[in-house]
Amino acid sequence: MSKFALLFLLMFFGCLIGAFFSSPLYAVILYKLVYFMNPESRWWGAGIPSIGYSFITVMVMIFSLLIHYSRLSEKTRWREQPVFKWIVILLLIYYFTGFFAVLTSIHYQFCFEFLKLVVILFVVYKIIDRQSIFDAVIWAYIIGAAYIGYYAGFVGRNSAGRVEGIGMIDTGGDSNLTAAALVPAVVMLLYYVWLGSLKVRLLSVVCAAFVVNGLILINSRGAFIGCVVGASIFLSYMIFSKWQKKGQRGTAVAIILFGLVGAFSLTDASFWARMSTLKVIEDGGTSGSHRIDFWLATFDVMRDHPLGVGISGFEAVSQSYLPESYFVTLDAKAVHSSWFQLLAEAGWVGLVCFGLLLVSLFRLLRLTKKYLLEHQLTERYFHVLSLEAALLGYFAAATFINRIRAPALWWCILFLMIATNIYYLQYKNGHKKIEILNDEIKRKRS
């Protein structure tokens, strides 16, 4: 057994014991780490028993929640979070679409996977009831992403200049899907580099180096765009917001400069050669611009199937809606966009439902940010902004890949839901009063 495998087993069983005897938080952290580490597919995984680590973790998480349910139910009430209503409705729409799905068995198989993800969202939301454990779960995501970056460096690029087969279990080894999950970590790290303690800042820099190096090695254009969008949004708020802390603009400029220097020192000719294909519009196969034809074809599919064609349905009918020239090497084509993936899978009803979900989420976020600013809690205000920018960065990356049911996307949404509960709903509904101000004062003094 390798040292890495032994370390994983110690972490796994240690967190399970912590979940049983201390807090369900340990199970949540373990779930995120197991998701990114994906032990069954790693070289060191051959030295550990194959026992369904993710399934065991989820079962322990639920059992631990039941033990602590009475304590947690007062602060994290599902019915007070309006976004859950739309998540459940979207799930029901997916199951309803099964009546019209082209590939019924595949559709229901992945509907069940989505159902499991929704259950996990409910469970985790109930568990995370205060900022300290919220930060711990975010760091579990960041460290998991850093591990992917480390593993990308360990494996190295193949003959095509990409790193393949290093992702999580739901990515199927696709490098673009893996890289997209790293985008939120880059944006969230900006907040901790700025407002974390000295130790947190040092840890943030180390994690950022691994994550960015992984993104560069993977060479995903969509993830590159996602990082630029997410980081630009957050840094723009730092620079142009009227809510300024001492040295805020200078810190933002320093982050930009050091980030550029670090990125250029890690990038190579292969990376810039691939990124340069974004502007080769005349060759759609090189730049990826031919995906627009796939997106437009979705409207033709909707004309014939307004309620959707189910999961993998677009691939099944793609030959009827796309020119033969696109099927030289493959018999089916994916739509290559999460937005159009949702439209094809669940029809117009599903797309509208997801839109209403986002409206509900961002409306609650607006109230949360307003509340924080009224109480001069600017650090938490910018924490919410960083999570928003992380989600928008992921949306930018997911615009070019099929990831509408991806755990990374829904965890970004979940992080924002948790933030609205911890920073706003708990105080609005009288669960807490002055503690938030006292906690902020202690943080500033430390």
End-to-end CA distance of the chain: 43
Q: What is the model's pTM?
A: 0.91
Q: 50-84 b/e with 16+ CB inside 10 Å = b?
A: eeebbebbbebbbebbeebeeebeebbbeeebebb
What CA–CA distance (Å, rounded) separates 401 from 417? Answer: 24
**Is the Cβ–Cβ distance between 31 and 8 less than 8 Å?**
no
Q: How many CB atoms lie within 10 A of CB 290?
A: 16
What CA–CA distance (Å, rounded) separates 56 from 67? Answer: 17
pLDDT tens digit at each of 446 positions of the chain: 688 899 999 999 999 999 999 999 999 999 999 999 999 889 888 889 888 999 999 999 999 999 888 888 778 889 999 999 999 999 999 999 999 999 999 999 999 999 999 999 999 999 999 999 999 999 999 999 999 999 998 988 887 778 888 989 999 889 999 999 999 999 999 999 999 899 999 999 999 999 999 998 998 889 999 999 999 999 999 998 888 888 888 888 888 888 777 767 766 666 656 666 655 544 444 445 678 889 999 999 999 999 999 999 999 999 999 988 888 777 788 999 999 999 999 999 999 999 999 999 999 999 999 999 999 999 999 999 999 999 999 999 999 999 999 999 999 999 999 999 999 998 887 655 544 444 554 554 44
What CA–CA distance (Å, rounded) separates 218 from 268? Answer: 12
How many residues are present in the chain? 446
3-state secondary structure 344-398: HHHHHHHHHHHHHHHHHHHHHHHHHHHHHHHCCCHHHHHHHHHHHHHHHHHHHHH
What CA–CA distance (Å, rounded) separates 198 from 411? Answer: 27
Report residue 116 as tokens. Answer: 């499991």
CA 395 to chain centre: 9
CA 146 to chain centre: 14
